[in-house]
Structure 1
Amino acid sequence: MLAGVDEALLARVPLERTRYTGVGGVILGTAVMAGLSMWFALSQVLGGSHLLLAVPVLIWALIVLNLDRWLVSTVTGMWQRRLLTLIPRLLVAVVLGVVIAEPLVLRVFETAVVQHVKDQRETLRNVRRAWWVECNPLPPATPKRQDCQGSSLMASTPVADLTALADLQKDAEKLRKRIDTANRRHAKLVDQASDECAGRSGPGLSGRVGEGPRCRRLKEEARRYLANSRLKENTAELRQLEARIDKLREPLPVKGEAYQKALDAEIQRRLAEMPSPDDPVGLLERLKALHELTRDNTYLGAASWLLRLFLILIDCLPVLVKLMGGTTTYDRMVGEENRRREEVHAHQVRLAAEAEIGRLELSAYMTAEERRRARQQIDVERKATDLAARSKIEEMISNRTRELRRTMLNDGRNGANHQFS
């Protein structure tokens, strides 16, 4: 049944049964291998095995079984025709073998592949963690890396408070310099007025003791300078700036600790979104890991390709068995049976065509005969109608003639009676 043979025809050559039983066994083996391959592939895709996977596995195994059954179906004729027919089937078998072999290869090298994926995940997590930490330093420090574009994790940082603190400190420093300059200038004016009033000698001093005009003028200059320099207002403003600076400076250590905690929590959240080493390994990750392992390890690459070729060869066995088996007695009988059935079918078609043509000709003849009879009937009816019309006319003429004669006789009798009277 699996080899797709005709049991009634195979019964005539019982020695061929062993061969085709072997072919059916090979087809069953490839179907079972295809089912196992689909089981492994679905388990790797879904991250685990489940009883419901048996449904698609069974469907895939039946598809492969039916395809192999078609591939090994009997090919008759000359060897050139057999070769041209079997080579495309062999190519189909090779493609099918590649599809079936890959999940089995992944299953064989599963330990190395899974470990490689876990190592890659751990390395990626460590690299990403270091990148986020280096690109999000505690303010006012700045990132030292050049590839930190788009790596900011925190929407709110102490940078704003530090910037405001720096601006206030700059303003306070400028204001302090102005106050110091004004104090020195005012102290100098006050000292100069005191020296003038005390009668001390020196540049710009009169040397006279007492509160003279020069003494009053210098005191007035010191007073006006104190008023114009806004020394008191600036001093009050400086005290306010220093109070604001102290207010901003006190919570910065607390904010820095909160920022660091929030940054660590955000890094852990983003790392949790990444695949961890303990998460299930998908099919694409396995394929990529196997490619990387075989690329870096020549021995492993050779072993994987030998296994692939072996599995592909097994998947191609049904067609190879058919190709290497040559033409069997059963094949020749199938060819003769097909030719006989073709001849019988052609003869049946020819007889059916002749019968159909005869029926069409008979139908045409009957139709023509019916038309001829209809025309004859119409002619008979027309003649009968004409005859009846002529008979009617003749009858009317005879009746009219008798009436005229009767009238003439009556008139003659009436005239004779009149003369006699």
Structure 2
Amino acid sequence: MTEDAAHEERPRRAVRLDLGRRLRVLAGVDEGILDQVPLERTRYVGLGGVILGTAVIAGVSMWFALSQIIGEVRPGMVVLALVWMLIVLNLDRWLVSMVAGMWQRRLVMLLPRLLVAMVLGSVIAEPLVLRVFETAVVQHVADEREAARSAEKALLTRCNPATGTPPAGGGCEKARLLVSSAAADEAEIADLEKDAARLQKQVDGARSEYRRLSGQARDECVGKKIIGVTSGKRGVGPLCRRLEAAARTARSLSDLDGNEKRLRELRSRISELRAPLASKRSDLGRRTQAAIDARLAAMPSGDAPVGILERMRALHEIAAENSYLLVASWLLRLFLVLVDCLPVLVKLLGGTTTYDRMVEHANRMRERVHEKRIQLDADARVGELELEAYARAEERRKRRQLIELDGKAADAEARAHREELMNRRAEELNRRSKDRNRINGSHPDVGVAGAFR
């Protein structure tokens, strides 16, 4: 190998070693311990690669999930996908670094890890499964939307006719869109026509009775003979006047004139209401069609973005109808869950290595060193506390001695002061006794004794 080739080989080897070290960092390897067993570096480089692969799959799954939720691709999704990838990477790194020691401990760590993997794998797997079966899922959702739009359009058209009067059958309680003014006018016209018909019947009866009585009065006045009714005598006689009065009374009691006036008013009102009905019905038809179009426009169309919940529901419905798709979707889910479990499975299936035993031994040594350091620190602190207690006791003893000395000095001073007072008193008494003796001319001893008496 030439010198130039050697120079090129060294950088490539350095890059490989640096990449391997970075992958081993993902596996939580202690490089200081691993340097003592260099043959196991390849194993942990592969384990770091498995952890990185699982994290990348999680990031891709988050990307698909966000695109399905939002309905479009946005730059901010990259940040969220990277954050989720780092979360999964650190979780797997922590779990792999915790699975160490003998197989009993590994088995105990496996069970909760599998539970975590099932939940995490399901979260990661579902967006990927939906992405794999996206064509069938989107088509199913589009067909459902079109069917729903067609059914809604048929219901709205049936429940909102141009006449404004809904059909007799039920099912239109929530499908009514507009209240027609034409329908209100038609209802009012129907009521008015019923009143007019009833009033017409009354008017016809009253008019018939009036005509009958007025005819009898006219026949009586002209002398027409009707057996049992007229006398047959011509002229305005008593019977003629009585029959005319009976006709007027019948017309007044039946209120024929007022009923005829009211009947004319009712018919006039009916004519006024009938005139704009055609235009109102035409306007109702246009407004009803616009309301139906607005209601249909609010519904998602077949080519609108499909949300993740719609995709999940559609996949469930398709899988329920297609057993092949059901098996394929669940196999894919299980595969992705298995992929998420790979870091710990690789660690477990690799068995207890020399590096694992060295890590366990190093951990025990560090634990013993830590315990010893804590014990020494505790002893030092206890010694400091004892010295502090001894110093405080000595200080209290010295203060007690000072207090006792001060007390004794005060007692001595008091005794000296008392003796001084007594001496002064004695001297004063002696002086007085001498003065008295000089005055009386007696012996000094007698004066002193008398003074004390």
Does the TM-score normalized on the shorter chain lie above 0.5? yes
1:314 correspondence with 2:339: yes
Aligned residue number for residue 115 of structure 1 = 139
Provide the secondary structure at the position in 1 that maps to 2:72: coil
Shift of residue 165 of structure 1?
Answer: 0.8
Q: Equivalents in 1 of 2:408, 2:122: separation in Å?
A: 91
For structure 1, which segment, 28-37 or 239-248, has the greater mean C-alpha deviation from structure 2 after superposition? Answer: 239-248
1:168 touches 1:245 (CA, 8 Å); kept in 2? yes
Q: Equivalents in 2 of 1:170, 1:349: separation in Å?
A: 107
Aligned residue number for residue 288 of structure 2 = 263
Paired letter, 1:128: E
| 1:40 equivalent among 57, 64, 78 | 64
Structure 1 residues 141 and 21, CA gap change in structure 2 (3 angstroms):
same
| 1:354 equivalent among 355, 379, 386 | 379
Q: Equivalents in 1 of 2:263, 2:427: separation in Å?
A: 163
Aligned residue number for residue 337 of structure 1 = 362
1:244 correspondence with 2:264: no
Q: Equivalents in 1 of 2:110, 2:424: separation in Å?
A: 103
Shift of residue 394 of structure 1?
Answer: 8.8
Structure 1 residues 177 and 400, CA gap change in structure 2 (3 angstroms):
closer
Aligned residues: 410
1:105 correspondence with 2:129: yes
1:116 touches 1:289 (CA, 8 Å); kept in 2? yes
Provide the secondary structure at the position in 2 that maps to 1:203: coil
User: What is the 5 A alignment of 1:139-154?
Assistant: 139=163, 141-154=165-178
Q: CA RMSD, aligned part only?
A: 3.3
For structure 1, which segment, 228-237 or 376-385, has the greater mean C-alpha deviation from structure 2 after superposition? Answer: 376-385
Q: Deviations over 1:261-280 (max 9, x none)?
A: 22222222233333333332
Structure 1 residues 231 and 309, CA gap change in structure 2 (3 angstroms):
same
Q: Equivalents in 1 of 2:252, 2:421: separation in Å?
A: 161
Shift of residue 219 of structure 1?
Answer: 4.2
Structure 1 residues 400 and 166, CA gap change in structure 2 (3 angstroms):
closer
Q: Equivalents in 1 of 2:386, 2:218: separation in Å?
A: 154
2:165 touches 2:183 (CA, 8 Å); kept in 1? no
Structure 1 residues 210 and 335, CA gap change in structure 2 (3 angstroms):
same
Shift of residue 334 of structure 1?
Answer: 0.1
Q: Equivalents in 2 of 1:381, 1:295: separation in Å?
A: 104
1:69 correspondence with 2:93: yes
Shift of residue 96 of structure 1?
Answer: 0.9
Give the TM-score of the pair, scaled to structure 2.
Answer: 0.80
2:199 touches 2:259 (CA, 8 Å); kept in 1? yes
Paired letter, 2:259: N
Q: Equivalents in 2 of 1:210, 1:347: separation in Å?
A: 155
2:162 touches 2:285 (CA, 8 Å); kept in 1? yes
Paired letter, 1:269: A
Gap regions ≥5 residues in structure 2: 1-24, 442-453
Q: Equivalents in 2 of 1:193, 1:400: separation in Å?
A: 171
Q: Equivalents in 2 of 1:374, 1:175: separation in Å?
A: 128
Give the TM-score of the pair, scaled to structure 1.
Answer: 0.85
Provide the secondary structure at the position in 1 that maps to 2:271: helix
Shift of residue 112 of structure 1?
Answer: 1.7
Q: Deviations over 1:253-311 (max 9, x none)?
A: 21112222222222222333333333322221111111111112111111111111111
Q: Deviations over 1:324-363 (max 9, x none)?
A: 1111111000001011111212222222233333333333
